[in-house]
Amino acid sequence: MKVVIDTNVVLDLLLDRSPHADAAARLFAQVETGLLPACLCATTVTTIHYIAAKTVGDRAARAHVARLMSMLELAPVTRQVIEHALASPMADFEDAVLAHAARLAGAQAVITRNERDFQHGPLRVYNPAQWLAA
């Protein structure tokens, strides 16, 4: 099953955010070894760089983004994605964009620590611990 990895899980890994970094690292190990087909939403990439650059600086943030891009597919944000997100029953527009971009890119699930905001979206929802236990 192809998944989209939410921004918060990526940042857990890149910024070593305790206590979530371990589960994020195990999840990305599955991606890196090819066991887990995964993508990121295009909006996640810019958010990751913006937040990581504040913590680790621009050069390191760009290196993190380049590494992610070498491992993961990218779910583009198109007019169709925005239109679906606008019509979505999801309360958070940013999460709706991520979910609909991922669905159109072929993902069937989202892995997030923000499960509640994805409940009314088009994808199955897992937190990292649930995914790793499955």
Q: What's the pLDDT at 15?
A: 86
Please state, in angstroms and as integers, the Cα–Cα distance from residue 132 to each residue in 5, 27, 29, 35, following that order.
13, 7, 11, 12
Mark the ranges of the chain whose per-residue pLDDT is less than 50: none
Report how far residue 54's alpha carbon sits from residue 111's, in angstroms, rounded to the nearest whole number. 24
CA dist list (Å): 28 to 67, 81, 90, 108, 113:
11, 26, 27, 18, 15
Write out pLDDT tens, residues 71-89.
Answer: 999 999 999 999 999 999 9
* Surface-to-core class of residue 33, CB atoms within 10 Å of its CB (0-12 exposed, 13-18 middle, 19+ buried): exposed
- Which residue type does 64 have? H
Predicted pLDDT at 45: 97
Instruction: Locate 105 and state its tokens.
Output: 């890119």
